[in-house]
Structure 1
Amino acid sequence: MYRRVNAHATAAVAAAASAAAVQVRAISEYKFGQAPLTTPWSGPSRLSSPTESKSVSDQKVKVSQLHNGARVITQQRDGAMVSVGAYILAGPAYDPVGCPGVHGLLHLALTTSNYNNSLFQLDREIRSTGTAFSHFEKDKHFICLRLDARADMWRSQKTGKKDDKNQFTLNLVQDTIFTAIAAPRFHETDIERFRDTVDNNLKEMKWQAPEEYAIQRLETVAFHKEPLGNPRHVPENNNGNITNKVLLEQYAQYVTPDRVIIAGVNVNHDELITEYENTPYTHSINAPHHAAFANQNRATSFDVNKENNQYTGGEAHEHENRAKEMGTKPDMDNETIVAVGYLSFGRGMTSIKRYAASLVYQQLYNILIQDCFRGAFGGSSNGVRSFYLPYQSAGLIGFTARSEPENIVKMVTAAMRDMQALKLDDAAAVERAKHRAAIEAMDRNWNTVRDLCDYMGTSLPLTSMAQNSTQYMKPEEVLDAIRAVTPAELKQVKEAAMGSKPSLFGHGEMLAFPSLRQMGF
């Protein structure tokens, strides 16, 4: 049986529902979370129509140096997602002597509360807009804070009108990055809550990505007690020694405006500069905490143009019964993971040709061991895999080997013999290696907006006082250098590697593993 519907009653119900909807939307006046999706976004949209096309000149990279010494580099590609990051010259290589891992807690502490926002406010803004926020270290020299957001949400939406204060507004980049590096708090409770996190991250890398763990530990052996030998992670035995006082001193000494590079992709260059300069707390080298260290005339403890002098070589064994430690003997057999490295060249502006030759040399070795192209996220598996870690003027090239204890010695010995016997006169193999090197360089550095932002932020000269401080190493220059690699340049890479003492780090079942001398190396 059907019911008769009264039109007047329906209209009354609709009016009541509309009034209720207005009341629901009014909660945005309290600025709790994102503005309701039923209301249009107050800011202008940055998205262009599909029919519009930009000239190549509009997409060129722009670099500026600001009055306080900070540098800004951007590229407008008219994409739907924006990546903005701050790349600070305060990485592992600048950790205090005897206190490794400070950088690891420093870039984490910068993401907590600052003098303009609490940790809750920062977290609310990030979550309510679907933004991704990352913090990490890169190339042993940089710590990075990066924000990935929608193209219409990354900057301030204030219009200056009278009723603008009643509208939901955002200052994502100012709050999460610019104010964080200009006026951090380093509140003790904010730091203590993350100590277990960094310990767990180290253990998770050790068990989930044992090859990556071996490579990071290999760096501490290859550059023993040198700045480049500082670990990329926070050692468990030094976690509790990194207090907020230590972090504040490290920040005051190294997080100065002239050591900060602001990079942005899919943003307007002038708009990004405006956001930086209009931050509530300006970043100045004349601030008391920065000036206190400037008056002490503390110079950099090493020359980035002579990083090869830090290479010492050596070996270290870390024995553990992985199956017993994990308590999963039925599911995990005993295994050994070994990383072997040699001295190579970096990716600085002055060594771009040798950097390209090192990339090709790595791919020549991959062809010899019949390894496929793996890209940036190769995962973890048994067998031999190559790696190449470029710094500024030096680098580390080598391989990892993972296998059962009874096979690992033979596998490592054969891989080291292959590295020594690598032939450079096969023209066809060299051409294939160039093609593979170009593909891997694009995949690791320019494949996504995030990758491009990281590359741009770390591809300017380290010092802002140099004449070429705004000179950017273009991707086209790297690709052209890869295509132009000659056998003579490959020979330089091989001579640098074979002329250095090999470095080795192994973990897992290492009781029966011989030393390099016993293996004939």
Structure 2
Amino acid sequence: MLSTGTQLAPALARCFATSTACNAAPALAPAKSSGFLASMFGLGGSRISTPLDDALPAVAVPPRSSAPATKPQLQTSSLSSGIKVATIDSTSPVSSLVLYVEGGSSAETSATAGASKVLEIAAFKSTLNRSTFRLTRELEKIGASAFCRAGRDNVAFGVNAVRINQREALEVLTDAVFNARYVYHEVRDSLDALKEQLAAQLKNPATTVTEVLHRAAFDGGLGNALVVDPSVVDGFSNETLAEYVASILAPSRVVLAGVGVDHSEIVSLATPLLSTASGSPAPHAASKYAGGAMNIIAPTASQVYVGLGFEARGGASDPKSAAAAQIVKALLDEARPTLPRGRKEHEVFTSLSPFAHLYKETGLVGVVASGAPGKAGAVVDALTAKVQAVAKGVSEGQLAQAKALALGELKAATATSAGLAASVGSSVLATGRFSAAEVAASLQGLTAAELSSYVSALVKTTPTFVTYGNLSSLPRLDAVAKRFA
């Protein structure tokens, strides 16, 4: 019987001899000591001492980066059905495909209230061609994950998969969206999980304040609640959900966004799948900024919350206004230690969260802050003073730091295939275009004078003022509005 060393030595020799580079390299002097362990691990005898930073002979040095010389650009096409296809190729092995549909909670009516949230749970289940079990197993087989996310102005259906399986991922995605059945028992089973999610979200006062801010700020669809009360979906039926989906799923309101895909290949794959899609767009309730005040009295709340917002005119459709809104959000961010502090707001605020909600032609910019119970007046004073300080003007240093923060958020949002696909889909749906370079240029090119003009016009709009908690020391809306007159 041969020993283990005798059996393995020829095999190891063959393994090392398979490399062309090794064959071309000079032969190394063998170790003097004999024995399998000695030859393998250098136990005893002479050893070869070559510094690790020395280049190996006959071995080509790989390039330091495999990134392409030029960044991929957005490519768009329109199918015969009217659906837009917008893609960006990349070196990522992951492909992200997202169908963005104009709608969301802004397209709901009194009869379909809460439908967008129900759709998040009921999506990617049985279709005319697949059972729920088969659809789930097919996604697992190709290593893909599916999701549905509803917003105020759109609904996103997406599938993330490895690039070699993008054909299968696209076919499953289109089938799940355009051929969904929404059967009775599956929708009913989804409601229990949804009601638990909604109840948990509404326990967070910040979520409640954000919802009420939109209700107070807008007349029309954008004033509809996105996170509805659980009781709203108690009697929800599958027919109601199908009615809502039919009202938003018109080809002229759909964008297929893809990242990590070849544009011509996706168009050729999508043509037979989506060219027969049909449907007439149902009219959506127009949204108009109105402003106003709403108070939510919660005497036992551990904190008092105050939300203050103003209309961001132009919304996402105006690149300069959108850039200015993001800069204002960064300037209002007290949590960022890099921005100079003109006041000791941290002595009043428990938390502070600025926001910039941008929609197709309008938006809402402002901040939500919290403080100790019984100090609602002090929180409002500090909050209005903070907004007034930005309205009076900022230094070049503050502006430069705010730009850096806004650019950092942009890079973080588009750093992954899924994040970039979300940015592409929502932007093309709202404005018909997208370019991260143009967005960055708009942020970088904003001057202090342009920002001052934007903020001056911003604070002249009717403010939106929302409070939550023990409001015994709360000032009235007219008193708050006079501070910005």
TM norm structure 2: 0.77
Correspondence for 1:84 among 92, 97, 114 = 97
Find the counterpart in structure 2 of residue 415 from structure 1. 383
8 Å contact kept, 1:361–1:493: no
CA shift for structure 1 position 174:
1.3
* Residue equivalent to 1:193: 189
Which position in structure 2 is the counterpart of 1:71? 84
Secondary structure (helix, strand or coil) at the match of 2:90 reads coil
Matched, 1:147 2:112: no
SS in 2 for 1:73: strand
What's the counterpart of residue 238 of structure 2? 244
TM-aligned CA distance change 1:492 to 1:115, over 3 Å: farther
Q: Distance in 2 between matches of 1:237 and 1:50?
A: 60
- Measured after TM superposition, the shift of residue 392 of structure 1 is 1.5
Alignment of structure 1 residues 92-491 onto 2, 5 Å: 92-97=105-110, 99-138=112-151, 140-155=152-167, 171-175=168-172, 177-207=173-203, 209-223=204-218, 225-279=219-273, 283-285=276-278, 290=279, 298-302=282-286, 310-320=288-298, 334-349=302-317, 351-366=318-333, 369=334, 371-372=336-337, 382-422=350-390, 423-443=392-412, 445-460=413-428, 462=430, 469=432, 472-491=433-452
> Letter of the aligned partner of 2:304 in structure 1?
T
**CA-to-aligned-CA distance 1:66-108 (integer Å, 9 cap, x gap):** 1110111111112121111110112222112564322222344
1:111 offset after TM fit, Å? 2.1
Residues 377 and 474, structure 2, Cα contact 8 Å, conserved in 1 = yes
Q: Deviations over 1:424-454 (max 9, x none)?
A: 25222222222222222222x3122111000
Q: Give the Å deviation of 1:398.
A: 1.0
Q: 1 CA distance for matches of 2:323 and 2:207?
A: 23
- Mark the runs of 5 or more structure 1 residues left unpaired by the alignment: 6-48, 156-170, 324-333, 375-380, 464-468
Which letter does structure 1 place at the counterpart of 2:398?
A
Instruction: Tell me how far 1:370 sits from its aligned partner.
Output: 6.3
Deviations 1:107-163, CA, capped at 9 Å, x for gaps: 44332211111112222233444432221124x2210011112222332xxxxxxxx
Q: 1:218 and 1:117 mapped to 2: Cα distance?
A: 41
In the alignment, the residues of structure 2 paired with residue 199 and residue 398 of structure 1 have an alpha-carbon distance, to the nearest angstrom, of 30
After superposition, the Cα gap between the structure-2 partners of 1:370 and 1:459, relative to the gap in structure 1 and judged at 3 Å, is: closer
Unaligned runs of 5+ in 2: 3-61, 340-348
Distance in 2 between the 1:52 and 1:278 partners? 38
Corresponding residue SS for 1:424: coil
Secondary structure at 2:181 match in 1: coil
Measure the CA separation in 1 of the matches of 2:190 and 2:476: 38
Superposition RMSD in Å: 2.9
Equivalents in 2 of 1:181, 1:382: separation in Å? 43
Q: Is the 8 A contact 2:74 2:434 kept in 1?
A: no
CA shift digits 1:316-343 (9 cap, x unpaired):
22333667xxxxxxxxxx2222322111
Q: Which has the larger radius of gyration?
A: 2
Residue type at the aligned position of 2:119: L
- Relative distance call for 1:189 and 1:384 in structure 2 (3 A) is same
> How far apart, in 2, do the equivalents of 1:130 and 1:513 lie?
54
| C-alpha separation in 2, matches of 1:101 and 1:50 | 53
- Name the count of aligned residue pairs: 413
* 2:322 aligned partner, one-letter code: Y
Contact 2:144 2:169 (C-alpha < 8 Å) held by counterparts = no
Report the CA distance between 1:371 and its aligned residue: 3.2
CA distance 1:210–1:80, change in 2 (3 Å):
farther
Rounded to whole Å, the distance in 2 between the matches of 1:515 and 1:237 is 32
- Counterpart of 2:56 in structure 1 is none
Conserved 8 A contact 2:315-2:361? yes
The aligned runs of 1:501-516 (5 Å cut-off) are 501-510=462-471, 513-516=474-477
Question: Deviations along 1:201-243, whole A, 9 cap, x unmatched?
Answer: 2222233x532442133111211x4211112223323213542
State the shift of 1:382 in Å: 3.1
In structure 2, relative to structure 1, the CA distance for the partners of 1:211 and 1:392 (3 Å cut) is same
Q: Which residue does the alignment assign to 2:460?
A: 499
TM-score if structure 1 supplies the norm length? 0.72
Query: Which segment is superposed worse, 488-497 or 66-75?
Result: 488-497
Q: Structure 1 residue 192: deviation in Å?
A: 0.9
Partner Cα separation in structure 1 for residue 366 and residue 248 of structure 2: 31
Three-state SS of the structure 1 residue aligned to 2:357 is: strand
Cα distance in 1, alignment partners of residues 428 and 481 from structure 2: 42
Q: Percent identity?
A: 22
Q: Deviations over 1:347-396 (max 9, x none)?
A: 434x1011111211222233xx463479xxxxxx9322211111122111
Structure 1 residues 106 and 520, CA, compared in 2 at 3 Å: closer, same or farther?
Answer: closer
SS of 1:153's equivalent?
helix
Tell me the SS of whatever aligns to 2:354: strand
Conserved? CA contact 1:125–1:172, under 8 Å: no
Q: Which amino acid aligns with 1:491?
A: S
- SS for the counterpart of 1:460 is helix
User: Whole-Å Cα distance in 2 between the matches of residues 353 and 219 of structure 1?
Assistant: 23
Q: How far has the Cα of 1:278 moved from its partner?
A: 3.9
Q: Which AA in structure 2 matches 1:145?
A: F
Match of 1:59 among 65, 72, 90: 72
Render the CA deviation track for 1:153-181: whole Å, top value 9, x for unaligned: 332xxxxxxxxxxxxxxx33312x20122
Q: Secondary structure at the match of 2:158?
A: strand
> SS state of the match for residue 196, structure 1?
helix
Shift, 1:53, TM fit:
4.6
Alpha carbons 2:112, 2:241 under 8 Å: kept: no
Q: Give the Cα–Cα distance (whole angstroms) in 1 for the partners of residues 108 and 88 of structure 2.
A: 32
Q: Is the 8 A contact 2:374 2:471 kept in 1?
A: no
Amino acid at match of 1:485: L
Aligned partner letter, 1:497: L
